[in-house]
């Protein structure tokens, strides 16, 4: 099978994985509140159950990412992680007690850690200018799952039969359903997923070889012997030598310098140097990682990840009890609401994908934060203590949810794309694991914060608005740093020329 077909199938399988993660969220979230009530769980158990899923993902994300950085493979990691999704969802289906349900979410959350490995892979096999588009497409797949999930809930709520010792009803059926889907995903990963090499570097090497051959042809008889040695150099590059990586990076910035880098690559004295350099750098590995994550722009992007997900999960935790209290919504109404939100988010990701080809990520980030700030102010004024009749309350609620959902795609795509560009590509798996762990911490604290303050909405939403205001101020001061290193250097050079 050729490389292009492998790439298409691999991307398709990645899309299926994120699609299924969205389906799982949308299938379980509308029913877990009533499920816990049937098990005589206290109200705070809702926050615990939702946070448990993120807790184990927070812990395993960097570990899986580090694993993928070391081995440069992701297929085994995904297959291993999906086993926990299957086991956890089956435990959710069993549902003997509230503690088993809580444990099921802890086990299933381990499987989400493989996402850091996948984002690391996407960073390595996509060009920087195409990265925001690729990330937007992958994230849109998850939102498509959020859209499809409620449709599954419509027929899952009709289940009412016995399966051996287990009772299959509208509360336990989502667990069995997701266990079967994750089993099918295992088969898809086995047969349709490959660990792809860095594609852009391969293309750069091809361009490098072509340019070198043209220049050597022009030199005539003097370079004839070098022309005969060309295929041997190509085999070395395909083998993944350190010199080829240096040459490919040079090719992206200066085509004339690439030929010199290629000629230097042939000389034997350079071959033993890279391993020595690699070994000498290992003692300072952890200090270099700490320096990388403590940079101002990295801290701001991690703060954006935390605050937006904290606010999102806090509002999602609050929405189900609120709709039950003010509008009398059940599982069907909540599922339809999440379905409409999924449509809005997918349209938002399509808009962001279109914008990413015309403006920089930092502009998209500013647009998203502006929308989120407007949403926070609206929710604090109108949703903390809804007034008026049913129609007015429903209108206030719909506008607040619409604004909150609208801002998410802008912030999500901008921060993950920028983060992949301003951090080291060699450790992208670990870096993405840290970023997702920060998000996981937010999805733990968000439901706990909202679950404990359902009767004190002003405090809950006031803190959320304060966090967004703090993030906006820090972004304003760090706006000039929100550029990839190459772009930043070009802007500095243009300023010096001016």
Say how far apart CA 303 and CA 298 lie, in whole Å. Answer: 9
Q: What is the pLDDT of residue 201?
A: 56
| Segment 305-338, tens digit of pLDDT | 899 888 888 887 788 788 888 888 876 787 778 7
Structural tokens at position 238: 């395909």
143-192 pLDDT, tens digit per residue, is 778 777 777 877 888 888 888 888 888 888 999 999 999 999 999 999 98
- What confidence score (pLDDT) does residue 202 get? 55
8 Å CB contact between 161 and 235: no
Separation between Cα atoms, residue 449 and residue 32, nearest integer Å: 18
**CA contacts within 13 A on the Cβ side of 151:** 10
Q: How far apart are CA 378 and CA 400, in angstroms?
A: 6
The pair phi, psi for residue 253, each rounded to 5°, is -100, -35
DSSP string across 373-412: HHHHHHIIIIISS--S-HHHHHHHHHHHHHHHHHHHHHHH
Q: Can you give the pLDDT of all 498 residues of the chain as single tens digits?
A: 677 788 888 889 999 999 998 888 878 877 888 888 888 888 778 878 877 887 888 888 888 888 888 888 889 999 999 999 999 999 999 878 889 989 999 999 898 888 888 888 887 887 777 777 777 788 778 877 877 777 787 788 888 888 888 888 888 899 999 999 999 999 999 998 888 877 655 555 556 555 655 555 555 444 444 444 444 443 333 333 333 333 334 333 444 444 444 434 444 444 344 443 444 444 555 566 667 677 888 899 999 989 988 888 888 778 878 888 888 887 678 777 877 887 888 888 888 888 888 888 889 999 999 999 998 898 888 887 777 788 888 888 888 888 888 888 898 888 888 888 888 777 777 888 888 888 878 877 887 788 777 677 888 888 888 999 999 999 999 888 887 765 554 444 444 444
Task: Give the global pTM.
Answer: 0.65
User: CA dihedral defined by 441, 446, 448, 452, rounded to 10 degrees?
Assistant: 160
Contact residues for 123 (Cβ-Cβ < 8 A; gap 6+): 131, 420, 425, 428, 432
pLDDT value at position 229?
44
Residues whose CB is less than 8 angstroms from the CB of residue 122 and which lie 6 or more positions away in sequence, other chains included = 14, 131, 134, 135, 138
Q: Determine the 3-state secondary structure of 14 from DSSP.
A: helix
Rounded distance between C-alpha atoms, residue 172 and residue 180, angstroms: 13
DSSP at 271 = T
Residues 104-133 have pLDDT tens digits of: 999 998 988 888 888 888 878 877 777 777
CA 237 – CA 234 distance, rounded (Å) = 5
């Amino acid at each position: 099978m050729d490389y292009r077909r492998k790439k298409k199938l691999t991307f398709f399988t990645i899309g299926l994985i994120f699609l299924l993660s969205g389906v799982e969220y949308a299938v379980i979230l509308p029913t877990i509140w009533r499920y816990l009530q049937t098990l005589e769980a206290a109200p705070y158990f809702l926050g615990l159950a939702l946070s448990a899923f993120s807790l184990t993902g927070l812990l395993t994300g960097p570990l899986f990412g580090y694993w993928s950085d070391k081995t440069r493979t992701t297929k085994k990691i995904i297959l291993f992680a999906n086993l926990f999704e299957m086991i956890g969802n089956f435990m959710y289906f069993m549902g003997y007690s509230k503690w088993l349900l809580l444990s099921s979410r802890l086990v299933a959350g381990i499987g989400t850690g493989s996402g850091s490995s996948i984002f690391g892979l996407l960073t390595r096999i996509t060009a920087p200018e195409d990265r925001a588009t690729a990330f937007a497409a992958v994230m849109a797949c998850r939102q498509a799952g959020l859209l499809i999930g409620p449709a599954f809930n419509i027929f899952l709520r009709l289940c009412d039969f016995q399966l051996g010792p287990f009772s299959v009803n509208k509360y336990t059926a989502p667990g069995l359903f997701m266990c079967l889907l994750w089993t099918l995903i295992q088969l898809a990963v086995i047969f349709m997923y490959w660990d792809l090499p860095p594609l852009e570097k391969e293309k750069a090497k091809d361009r490098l070889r072509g340019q070198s051959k043209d220049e050597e042809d022009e030199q005539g008889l003097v370079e004839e012997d070098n022309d005969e040695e060309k295929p041997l150099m190509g085999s070395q590059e395909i083998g993944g030598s350190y010199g080829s990586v240096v040459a490919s990076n040079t090719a992206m910035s200066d085509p004339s310098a690439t030929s010199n880098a290629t000629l230097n690559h042939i000389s034997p004295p350079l071959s033993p140097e890279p391993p020595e350099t690699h070994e000498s750098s290992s003692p300072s590995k952890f200090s270099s990682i700490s320096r990388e994550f403590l940079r101002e722009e990295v801290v701001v992007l991690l703060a954006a990840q935390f605050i937006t997900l904290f606010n999102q999960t806090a509002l999602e935790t609050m929405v189900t009890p609120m709709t039950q209290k003010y509008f009398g919504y059940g599982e069907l109404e909540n599922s339809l609401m999440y379905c409409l939100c999924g449509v809005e988010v997918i349209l938002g990701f399509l808009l962001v994908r279109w914008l990413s080809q015309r403006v920089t990520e930092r502009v998209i980030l500013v647009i998203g934060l502006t929308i989120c700030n407007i949403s926070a102010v609206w929710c604090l004024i109108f949703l903390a203590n809804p007034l008026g009749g049913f129609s007015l309350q429903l209108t206030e609620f719909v506008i607040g949810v619409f604004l909150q959902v609208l801002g998410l795609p802008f912030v999500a795509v901008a921060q993950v794309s920028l983060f992949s560009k301003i951090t080291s590509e060699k450790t992208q798996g670990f870096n993405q694991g840290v970023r997702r762990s920060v998000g996981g911490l937010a999805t733990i604290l968000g439901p706990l914060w909202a679950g404990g303050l359902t009767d004190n909405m002003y405090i809950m939403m006031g803190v959320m608005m304060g966090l967004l205001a703090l993030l906006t101020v820090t972004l304003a001061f760090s706006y000039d740093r929100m550029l990839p290193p190459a772009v930043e250097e070009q802007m500095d050079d243009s300023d010096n020329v001016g």
